[in-house]
Structure 1
């Protein structure tokens, strides 16, 4: 319906054609805000590649290129407001980000559940969904801090989530959320026009290839500064470690550890057949909103390859990480006994879990209400077979002792490399 309305509006001349040109988009953001400092201009490099990929590979429909314009404007406007806040309050950049706890795992490997359980503990800081949608406060936010106004961002997030559910009713079962639910920082990485956020919604293989060959350090530095800004806007104590998680970290562990050298890492693992099938389903449900020319088989092949790339990069980077800085968590262990598994995580973190248990139980009760329908998917609908996925990831499941249906679980799990 949206696609038809936009096409009709363009025919009538009441909606402008999409103009996916970097300089034009930068000028629009400057005109809208009256600001001109975008911060580190490194973002223009991935932005140029992304725009080229969108124009020549994504085959967006009218709703797709209209949405792309809006998304890019949102990111660019936020970059301008970010620098404005740093100029107004230089103390923001001095906020420490000590000992973050970073959950690293493939898409759909239980990272959200683990993240939200830890975020229930008031000893940690976390992002909320509305802050990933709109991480940067508007210029009038100081009135909010003074108690003279209300932050509009939760209401905006609620509207955006409602529109997303209208566009794709399966959204709620794939990734249940709400404006104040703990959420991942993928959008903060995407603020540098870098990362998997763009790949999960558009078919942009040229852009994906470019990202795979680049150091993500500038994007992670900007992400860290956005965390400082968000912590300041929350009036959060800078002594509380952040709980972070996004599958992006599997691809960029060296960059993550350069920017957060004292990070503690929790690696999650799940049967690759479930990971690949679920990731393909998530990406398919995103991509079909923006284009009429993508096949399930193409999406399945893309996320089979992407999952393999993520795991390979993660395994390579782990070699340089001290063993006492990381722990492995199996999806099946969380399914079997979440409390026992979380106790092991808390021992790794050197904390007593008991004070957080009531809040964790409240989250689990709430999440049962959020997720009204199970997320249903299969490898076959994406042109993949269980045998192919098993063969592709046989070494990974063996080394990390991942329970796989149809294969006996190892008597004792090997120390992961």
Structure 2
């Protein structure tokens, strides 16, 4: 990127809010970004990037492209809503939402459920690009699939470990993280860049507008998929741990699956994921700071989840432990299906196929340790030991030194 700029092949990225929004208007020929609430987190994120992130040349370029893409998507989304008002009339009935700390088995649960054709789910290309291009036609080619493949190839080249930690492909089931990023909201930014001031500011805000936009984008996605609006959505992202009250305002009839895992693994794995992304974009990442931040964020996620659960009827949620899924995933999923009220038998063959496919996606184990992030099992359990006791979580300090 430095060479490209010196030779005039690439411009210095413009990381200024007004300039980025004006360029998006010029590129699309549109001027309605929807609810202007998104400008608040966008402003705070840009401030944190300038003050804290210390991005390298590739990081600045990637940030600029990411911001441009979100702004284009917001403009195109409003155009779709104006063209097709029936999109926003689509119901989103009683979704099943997987809620758990980052790295607690939410992806496995989500993808097993997404194997069942009786549910609707996002695919990876749809969370990377939540909004179809203006020339999209039902039944025709979708350029977002090609773009997602390119982005994943670049990510693999930049740091092959990122797709080992979270294996995926353009058509694989994926979480709705990109739909929250559409409002410049979510811990995706904390896991991608060192922007702690943005994270702390976000934790003090009411995220309801971001969740309302997420719901609108789900309606758009269902319309683009031509999926039945009667099929429940399968949703999940660790961001919901922080935002359960807003989530339940938008989806008041949701059924919740809470996943739990040994915090020694959760914190170490989350720090490793954040580290392996941050080092792509910055040459100054500090492993110890990242470890401290993800211990703090994990504690906050758990505290907020526990507080919000007090107001949720017990009939609306179920708890599933990581070890339970490891030991006998079929028995665990039968328990989940009893809770949902579905017969699991029609879904089991597709779940078996997912298990085979995921082995091919994840060829190498994710290795990490707490110590590489300046943490110890004793420190983590001192802060999160009450979570272990309350939910009967098995914690193994000896095994924490090297997890997969």
Q: TM-score range by the shorter chain?
A: over 0.9
1:171 corresponding residue in structure 2: 162
1:95 aligns with 2:90: yes
**Aligned pair partner of 1:136 in 131, 138, 144:** 131
- Separation in 2 of the partners of 1:394 and 1:25? 45
- Separation in 2 of the partners of 1:19 and 1:141? 29
The Cα shift of 1:336 comes to 0.3
Once the two structures are superposed, residues 357-387 of structure 1 have per-residue CA deviations (whole angstroms, 9 ceiling, x without a partner) of: 0000000011111111000000011111011
Contact 2:264–2:381 under 8 Å retained in 1: yes
TM-score (norm 1): 0.94
1:107 corresponding residue in structure 2: 102
Contact 2:377–2:397 under 8 Å retained in 1: no
Runs of 5+ in structure 2 lacking a partner? 399-404
Once the two structures are superposed, residues 334-375 of structure 1 have per-residue CA deviations (whole angstroms, 9 ceiling, x without a partner) of: 000000000000010011101100000000011111111000
1:378 corresponding residue in structure 2: 369
**Aligned pair partner of 2:241 in 247, 250, 255:** 250
RMSD in angstroms over aligned alpha carbons?
1.0
- Separation in 2 of the partners of 1:318 and 1:172? 33
Contact 2:97–2:236 under 8 Å retained in 1: yes
Contact 2:13–2:60 under 8 Å retained in 1: yes
1:318 corresponding residue in structure 2: 309
1:79 aligns with 2:74: yes
The Cα shift of 1:406 comes to 6.0
**Aligned pair partner of 1:203 in 194, 198, 201:** 194
1:235 aligns with 2:230: no
SS in structure 1 of the partner of residue 53 of structure 2: coil
After superposition, residues 280-291 of structure 1 pair within 5 angstroms as 280-291=271-282
| Runs ≥4 residues deviating over 4 A | none
The Cα shift of 1:329 comes to 0.3
Counting matched residue pairs gives 398
2:180 corresponding residue in structure 1: 189
1:267 corresponding residue in structure 2: 258
**Aligned pair partner of 2:50 in 55, 66, 86:** 55
- Separation in 1 of the partners of 2:209 and 2:240? 14
1:412 corresponding residue in structure 2: none
TM-score (norm 2): 0.97
2:28 corresponding residue in structure 1: 33
After superposition, residues 107-126 of structure 1 pair within 5 angstroms as 107-126=102-121
**Aligned pair partner of 2:3 in 1, 4, 8:** 8
The Cα shift of 1:171 comes to 1.8
SS in structure 2 of the partner of residue 265 of structure 1: strand
- Separation in 2 of the partners of 1:40 and 1:378? 42
Task: Name the stretch that deviates more: 7-16 or 210-219.
Answer: 7-16
Runs of 5+ in structure 1 lacking a partner? 1-5, 408-417
- Separation in 2 of the partners of 1:241 and 1:382? 40
After superposition, residues 390-409 of structure 1 pair within 5 angstroms as 390-405=381-396
Contact 2:129–2:178 under 8 Å retained in 1: no
2:298 corresponding residue in structure 1: 307
Contact 2:177–2:188 under 8 Å retained in 1: yes
1:367 aligns with 2:342: no
Once the two structures are superposed, residues 155-198 of structure 1 have per-residue CA deviations (whole angstroms, 9 ceiling, x without a partner) of: 21111111100001112210111111000001101100111111
**Aligned pair partner of 1:293 in 284, 301, 312:** 284
- Separation in 2 of the partners of 1:225 and 1:373? 37
